[in-house]
């Protein structure tokens, strides 16, 4: 029962699902509940804070109880929060309650990330870690497909006036709040089922213990800071880490809203089912495929040789949204092809970015330094651009000028790439 194949897939599905709820499903929910793009991006942008600051409390988590205990507890807590969210959506205080509950889910999910990744290292030897890394990444993406694809499609199906099943039609037509309540209740049940399964399936490695651990949070944090800020070429590295993903950070929040908004509002008017399939399913598959191909290219030719081709891959395909915003095509194959191409490019370029973070983190306290790198990249590449993207779009006149501006911000990516210092291959 405790073989790696029995728990790695479900553990990483359980890791990605809450992230999908907080950062992606919430966008569609708030758009359908009537919020503006400025409000949506600001509110959901703040929800990314736990992933930025999680290095601050990871030593505390490491020193209190086992990682297995934290995983089970966080999955149950996330399930409870999702259930509460479901019951509050039809009420007058739905916005305040949902923001508070999404933030609780975000902190619980970030804590789960810390423990799941640590547990993976403790429960497997080095050879097994290398063997199953592709499996864990694949199932993380499957969780994203299930969250922003399948569950969003479920909410859309529940809102449909007519459903056809086995050649029989029947009426559903739930209201928007009720359809999302049912969806989040199903989501909550799934998290509870995962927790119950992991209670049996997760092994109990002897190394997963707080025995003989001394909680020295300040010392640990201070030492990591010292190592991080003693790195060579720190200024150009920080610029690269913070700004490389700026165009994608601006797109991440706006593209789902653009796909969902009506034609009159400048969008493409996709239904939840169409959005869940195009962006939540095909898009994630494209992202995963791009990552796999990018990893193969770097392993074959090296990061130094492949850096600029992969930088072009993550930036130039963004122009598909300029075309979509001007044409507002209603052709689903064309929309799906554009989203797929852009996400493949994102996956290719993100591979180069991730491998740079890994190489920068090599040396003393590499794991802790890498956690700092991921915090900075999330701050500059996701949270801050995402928070202002809706305001920027509204201020400059809508989706068309916004997507043109994003293409201009690609020059920032080119600039920080030109400045960054790459380590010698193999070091």
CATH number at residue 155: 1.20.1250.20
Secondary structure (3-state) at 168: strand
> What is the structure's pLDDT at 125?
79
CB atoms within 10 A of CB 185: 15
pTM: 0.85
Last residue of a domain, one of 177, 212, 247: 212
> What is the structure's pLDDT at 427?
47
How far is 335 from 329, CA to CA, in rounded Å? 7
> What is the structure's pLDDT at 166?
47
> What is the structure's pLDDT at 174?
83
Q: 374 and 236 in one domain? A: yes
How far is 95 from 330, CA to CA, in rounded Å? 32
Domain that holds residue 376: 216-420
**Domain count of the chain?**
2
Going by the DSSP 8-state scheme, the letter that residue 318 receives in this structure is G
> What is the structure's pLDDT at 424?
63
Q: What is the 3-state secondary structure (H, E, C) of 98-118?
A: HHHHHHHHHHHHHHHHHHHHH
Residue 51 resides in a domain: yes
How far is 219 from 103, CA to CA, in rounded Å? 28
Q: 118 and 246 in one domain? A: no
How far is 334 from 326, CA to CA, in rounded Å? 14
Q: What does the chain come to in residues?
A: 427
Instruction: Write out the two tokens for 315.
Output: 């930036």
> What is the structure's pLDDT at 218?
62
Q: 205 and 221 in one domain? A: no
pLDDT tens-place values along the chain, 427 residues long: 568 889 999 999 999 999 999 998 999 999 999 999 999 999 999 999 999 888 887 777 777 788 899 999 999 999 999 999 999 999 999 999 999 999 999 999 999 988 888 888 788 877 787 678 778 878 888 999 999 899 999 999 888 755 555 455 555 678 899 999 999 999 999 999 999 999 999 988 877 766 555 545 566 677 878 888 888 889 999 999 999 999 999 999 999 999 999 999 999 999 999 999 999 899 989 998 998 898 889 888 888 899 999 999 999 999 999 999 999 999 999 999 999 999 999 999 988 898 888 788 877 777 678 878 888 888 998 899 999 999 999 999 999 999 999 999 999 999 999 999 887 654 4
Q: 175 and 61 in one domain? A: yes
The candidate with the shortest Cα–Cα distance to 314, out of 275, 287, 276, is 287
Q: 227 and 205 in one domain? A: no
Q: 188 and 139 in one domain? A: yes
> What is the structure's pLDDT at 137?
79
Residue 191 resides in a domain: yes
CB atoms within 10 A of CB 330: 11
Last residue of a domain, one of 165, 187, 212: 212
Residue 256 resides in a domain: yes
Residue 242 resides in a domain: yes
Q: 208 and 259 in one domain? A: no
Instruction: Give me the residue label for tokens 């029989």.
Output: 168
Q: 222 and 193 in one domain? A: no
Q: 172 and 277 in one domain? A: no
> What is the structure's pLDDT at 217?
56
Q: 172 and 224 in one domain? A: no
Residue 3 resides in a domain: yes
Instruction: Give me the half-sphere count of Cα atoms (radius 13 Å) on the Cβ side of residue 176.
Output: 10
Q: 201 and 54 in one domain? A: yes
Beta-carbon contacts of residue 397 (< 8 Å; ≥ 6 apart):
none
CB atoms within 10 A of CB 365: 16
Instruction: Give me the residue label for tokens 């996400």.
Output: 343
Residue 156 resides in a domain: yes
Q: 328 and 345 in one domain? A: yes
Last residue of a domain, one of 151, 181, 212: 212
Going by the DSSP 8-state scheme, the letter that residue 264 receives in this structure is T
Residue 427 resides in a domain: no
Residue 389 resides in a domain: yes
How far is 324 from 339, CA to CA, in rounded Å? 10
């Amino acid at each position: 029962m405790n073989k790696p194949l029995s728990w790695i897939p479900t553990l990483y599905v359980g890791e990605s699902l809450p992230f999908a709820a907080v950062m992606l499903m919430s966008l569609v929910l708030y758009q359908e509940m009537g919020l503006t793009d400025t409000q949506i991006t600001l509110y959901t942008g703040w929800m990314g804070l736990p992933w930025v600051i999680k290095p601050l409390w990871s030593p505390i988590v490491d020193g209190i109880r086992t990682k297995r205990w934290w995983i089970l507890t966080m999955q149950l807590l996330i399930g409870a929060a999702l259930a509460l969210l479901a019951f509050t959506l039809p009420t007058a205080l739905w916005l305040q309650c949902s923001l508070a509950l999404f933030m609780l889910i975000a902190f619980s999910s970030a804590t789960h990330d810390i423990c799941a990744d640590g547990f993976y290292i403790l429960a497997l030897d080095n050879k097994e870690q290398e063997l199953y890394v592709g499996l864990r990444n694949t199932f993380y993406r499957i969780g994203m497909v299930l969250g922003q694809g399948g569950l969003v499609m479920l909410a859309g199906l529940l809102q449909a006036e007519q459903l056809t099943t086995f050649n029989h039609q029947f009426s559903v037509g739930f209201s928007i709040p009720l359809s999302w309540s049912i969806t989040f209740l199903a989501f909550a049940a799934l998290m509870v089922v995962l927790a119950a399964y992991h209670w049996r399936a997760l092994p109990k490695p002897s190394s997963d213990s707080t025995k003989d651990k001394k909680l020295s949070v300040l010392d640990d944090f201070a030492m990591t800071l010292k190592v991080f800020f003693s790195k060579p070429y720190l200024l150009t590295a920080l610029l690269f880490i913070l700004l490389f993903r700026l165009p994608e950070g601006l797109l991440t929040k706006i593209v789902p809203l653009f796909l969902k908004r009506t034609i009159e509002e400048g969008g493409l008017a996709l239904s939840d089912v169409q959005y869940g399939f195009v962006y939540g399913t095909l898009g994630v598959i494209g992202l995963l495929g791009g990552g796999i191909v990018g990893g193969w290219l770097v392993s074959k030719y090296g990061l130094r040789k492949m850096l600029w081709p992969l930088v072009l891959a993550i930036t130039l395909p963004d122009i598909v949204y300029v075309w979509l915003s001007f044409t507002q095509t209603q052709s689903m194959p064309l929309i799906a092809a554009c989203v797929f191409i852009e996400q493949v490019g994102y996956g290719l370029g993100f591979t180069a970015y991730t491998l740079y973070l890994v190489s920068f983190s090599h040396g003393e306290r590499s794991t802790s330094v890498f956690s700092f790198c991921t915090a900075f990249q999330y701050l500059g590449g996701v949270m801050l651009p995402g928070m202002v993207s809706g305001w920027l779009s509204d201020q400059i006149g809508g989706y068309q000028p916004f997507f043109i501006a994003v293409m201009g911000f690609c020059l920032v990516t080119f600039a920080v790439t030109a400045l960054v210092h790459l380590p010698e291959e193999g070091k």
